[in-house]
Amino acid sequence: MVFPPRLARADEAAEIIKKVEDNLNGRSAVLKIAMIIKTSRATRTMKMESFSVGSEKSFIKITYPGKDYGITFLKINDAMWQYVPRIEKIIKIPASMMLQSWMGTDFSNDDLVRESSISRDYTAKILSQSDTAYEIELLPQPEAAVVWGKLVMGVAKPELLPQSVRYYDEEGVLVRILEYTEVKRLGDRLYPSRWVMLPQDKEKYGNQTIIEITEATFDVEIDEEYFSKRALQRFSE
């Protein structure tokens, strides 16, 4: 053994997180998604198509409800743009707005941009493991521009699929829980087809946003055209 066991363990944790990300994102992915947003007043559903390459680039188009049809989002690395047909404008989401709710859901703009870069921004450590799952603690890298103080991720063995992520703020208060459930075969792999975001802060407690992956194709060639600003308007139709 060249490395002391503790270090090996940290490496192992990083390895697991990388695998989890690969399993979720694939080399590329084309998804059809339904989003159900529940608040104490109402429940509404949005549908969208998502095209992504790794965790760096993605393109999202809203397809339902009709009045929002054709709103498109483009994400390249940490930047995000949106196109709104009604005002015929491409808007770059400014940094100050990244923490705002994304289309009234319990996800923020930042989530869409950052979610997939956990392996880059956080240091992983295995807290515990059983025969069926790992519990991994993720602490932000000192220089990483992230909003969370700590994440705790549950990862199912042996597929290395995420089960849940608990988000803590810098004071160590649990702010929200994301649960990945209903693992089934989608495309070429087993995939959690239902993601539930449960806010825990007083303001939003009791609300939830459910993401249902209704169709998925992984590791196919996606036209590079999708990942340009031109695409926002072009594929809005």
Residues lying near another protein in the complex (CB under 8 A): 37, 39-42, 44, 62, 65, 67-68, 71, 82, 84, 86-87, 89, 91-94, 96-97, 100-101, 103-104, 202-204, 207
Least distance between another protein and beta carbon 86 (Å): 5
Q: Are 155 and 171 in contact (CB under 8 A)?
A: no
Which of 85, 149 has the CB closer to another protein? 85
Which of 71, 178 has the CB closer to another protein? 71
Angle (CA) 140-142-143 rounded to 5° is 105
Least distance between another protein and beta carbon 77 (Å): 18
Which of 95, 145 has the CB closer to another protein? 95
Least distance between another protein and beta carbon 76 (Å): 16
Least distance between another protein and beta carbon 160 (Å): 35
Which of 93, 216 has the CB closer to another protein? 93
Q: Which H or E run includes 14?
A: helix 5-25
Burial of residue 99 (number of CB atoms within 10 Å: 0-12, 13-18, 19+): exposed
3-state secondary structure 165-234: EEEECCCCCEEEEEEEEEEEEECCEEEEEEEEEEECCCCCCCCEEEEEEEEEEECCCCCHHHHCHHHHHH
Which of 27, 44 has the CB closer to another protein? 44
Least distance between another protein and beta carbon 69 (Å): 10
